Amino acid sequence: MSTLATELSEPIYEPPTLTLLDASAPVDFAYLQIESARLLRTCQYELALPYTLALLDSLKQLGNNNAYLSAFCQLMTIYEQAGIFPNYVESLSFAIEILGESAPAVEIAQTNLAIGRLYHLLEDFDQAQIYYAKSFEIQRHLLSDVLSPISYRYMAETYAAKDEMPEALESIGKSIHACNQVQNPLLIASSMNTFGDLLIVNNQMNGANRKFTLGLQAAQTAANPYERIRALIGLGIIHFKQNKVDLALSIWQQAYSLAARHHCHSLLAKVTRVLATTHKLQESYKVASEYFEIFIQEDKLLSLQSFATQLRNLESSQKIEIINRRNLQLRHEIQERMKSQAELEVLATTDPMTGLFNRRHFFTLTEHWCENATEIPLEISAMMIDIDHFKRINDEYGHPAGDEVLIKVAQAIQNALRTDDILCRYGGEEFSILLPNTNLMAAQQVAERVRQTVENMKIYYEDHVIQLTVSIGVADLLNSPKHSVMGLLGHADQALFKAKHKGRNCCAVFSSQNPSQD
């Protein structure tokens, strides 16, 4: 392991056993609340987590639902700032059940904000805004502005993610105004740093510098490392854009050290990426390579896929209640719109016969991977697959048999692939596969496994047993023109032609020296 990566090896979700959390010990709720909040504020996530989980268990047993929701929101903040969401969050299901049963309260508004924030992290920004709107509705009903600083900041960040900058700047201005009313240094630091991020996007460097400086001062007053790191990253970006590269690297190194020390994985991924990119521009390739290695490791940790599945499942099973009983009709309309949007998305991205991604969506995914490969060194390969003599199947057994063959072959290919491989029906009897993080040699092995899987299949249709083979062309991005999607798939298609020319039922690899021959 590299020297830079060594300090990141400690897992934060296996904390030492604390005597306080012994189930047989008497529970001091006030102490748990105060101590868990203090540990979160000082970014001691490995300690804040068990205290907060213990607090949630105790409050659930006591039946104190509003306090439970407040602790749940604290737990979501720990997961976001630490940057690692577990595969399953037990408290999410109970929190959502409470939402559907409780009268308006500050904690209900706070929890709607927290769930909206989860959707923001999942990049479902429209859904995030639905929950934010519900939170604002409850706050107005209660005539309460205690959540205004964070509410408007969340809205600003979501507007910015949607490239709606005028609305983002208006919202962050409201957040700053609300912060000034309560004079909470941590809230001020958070909003100032977000303001700075927005001004960088608007290329207002002097204004951004002032906001980050105020954010850094407020974070130091609050003794909060997380916002200190955010401010340092922002100040580094400003100095870099002003061609003060050495100063930017020095500031980012401070941010890196703080993020590593406090296990802030979300910010650690961000700062290691800019460090790696900048060192590469400075031709410090060894240092850049070490930071890229850490970035890739941290970026993998940030995956929300399993947690997203849990949230979606709760939603689809109607355990999520985004509108209380007074707004039942509005809730129904929102759910119907969500259902229609989901159905449209499925129709737009999948092949109706096989259930695989369609060609258009495959191009979108492939473009995303190829663009990432230009920024981060990634090996990407692709395959084009064609069912041999497919027309004979249609002619001999009929088109319904051909459809059944396409479905069975699609399932067989999918079962032969790895988790990250992306399969689509390219058109007719052709399939295409994108293989992220895969060099040409590994791609050949996958292709041969697919070929053998199909060759060994027996498809039973009515009184017939149909056996068939496929031809496969393989290519990699490294040898593709300008590392482009069309170049990659074009080479794979040329390799497929080679496989057909060789007699079918085989795999061929694109050769840049002589692409039309073996």
Smallest Cα–Cα separation from 438: which of 388, 500, 401, 383? 383
Looking at residue 49, its pLDDT comes to 87
- Minimum mean pLDDT among 209-218, 259-268, 311-320, 348-357: which range? 311-320
Looking at residue 323, its pLDDT comes to 36
Percent of the chain with pLDDT over 70: 82
Residue bearing tokens 């577990």: 86
Pull the structure tokens for residue 51. Answer: 């205290």
SS3 472: strand
Looking at residue 94, its pLDDT comes to 82
Name the residues annotated as catalytic.
429
The string of pLDDT tens digits covering residues 81-92 is 887 777 667 788
How is the chain split into domains, by residue range?
A: 359-509
512 pLDDT exceeds 80? no
The string of pLDDT tens digits covering residues 319-351 is 444 333 444 455 555 456 656 665 556 556 788
Give the amino acid at 66: N
Pull the structure tokens for residue 49. Answer: 């987590």
- Distance of alpha carbon 359 from the chain centroid: 23
- Minimum mean pLDDT among 13-22, 39-48, 222-231, 398-407: which range? 13-22
Percent of the chain with pLDDT over 90: 45
Looking at residue 507, its pLDDT comes to 96
Q: Which has the higher per-residue pLDDT, 518 or 404?
A: 404
Cα separations (Å) of 279 from 190, 246, 283? 28, 10, 6
CA distance 241 to 515: 44
Smallest Cα–Cα separation from 443: which of 390, 502, 488? 488
* Burial annotation 427-460 (CB, 10 A radius, 16+ → b, else e): eebbbbbbbbebebeebbebbeebbebbeebebe
312 pLDDT exceeds 60? no
CA distance 129 to 143: 20
Looking at residue 370, its pLDDT comes to 78
The whole-model pTM stands at: 0.57
455 pLDDT exceeds 50? yes
Options 2.40.420.20, 3.30.9.10, 3.30.70.270, 3.40.50.2000; CATH for 359-509 is: 3.30.70.270
CA distance 188 to 180: 8
The string of pLDDT tens digits covering residues 18-36 is 333 444 444 567 788 888 8
Looking at residue 325, its pLDDT comes to 40
376 pLDDT exceeds 50? yes
